[in-house]
């Protein structure tokens, strides 16, 4: 997610007493494990889950960005060509990928702003629900 969306999610979670969680929705090997949730002192799965339930979490990692998303889309596209040679005929469309990725991120940014404003208005209008 974009940094602004992460900020809104963090504020929303704190306001509603939800635990902090992080994870990657990466679709390429290069992005795996770059964002994660840690439970300090957990030595096994049971202790990790118990720490989650008790809210003893810390989040680490990288937020999303245009270069990261563009790289992932291009990696997936190149892998597709490697697996299915006929898709090489679609190569001229690759020149439009940077614009499409920019448009997608612009939509995500607009959504994050709308969602953040909406949740803040609700919290201000109904402060008793925020406790």
Give the pLDDT confidence score for residue 129 in this predicted structure: 56
Tens of pLDDT, residues 58-103: 999 888 899 999 999 999 999 999 999 999 999 999 999 999 999 9
Q: Which two tokens stand for residue 71?
A: 């790289």
Residue recorded with tokens 């953040």? 116
- DSSP E strands: which ranges in 48-121? 58-61
Measured between alpha carbons, how far is 107 from 112 in angstroms, rounded to an integer?
9
Q: What phi and psi, each to the nearest 5 degrees, are found at residue 11?
A: -65, -45
| Cβ neighbours, 10 Å, residue 99 | 9
State the residue for tokens 């999303």.
64
Domain residue spans of the chain: 3-130
What is the end-to-end Cα distance of the chain in Å, rounded?
Answer: 26
Band of residue 127 on the pLDDT scale cut at 50, 70, 90: low
pTM: 0.74
């Amino acid at each position: 997610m974009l940094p602004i969306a992460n900020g809104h999610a963090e504020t929303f979670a704190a306001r509603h007493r939800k635990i902090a969680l992080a994870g990657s929705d990466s679709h390429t090997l290069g992005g795996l494990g770059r964002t994660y949730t840690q439970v300090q002192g957990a030595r096994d799965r049971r202790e990790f889950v118990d720490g989650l339930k008790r809210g003893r979490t810390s989040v680490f990692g990288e937020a999303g960005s245009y270069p990261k998303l563009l790289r992932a889309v291009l990696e997936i596209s190149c892998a597709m060509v490697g697996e299915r040679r006929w898709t090489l005929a679609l190569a001229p469309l690759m020149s439009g990928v940077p614009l499409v990725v920019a448009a997608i991120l612009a939509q995500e940014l607009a959504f994050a702003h709308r969602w953040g404003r909406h949740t803040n208005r609700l919290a201000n209008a109904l402060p008793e629900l925020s406790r």
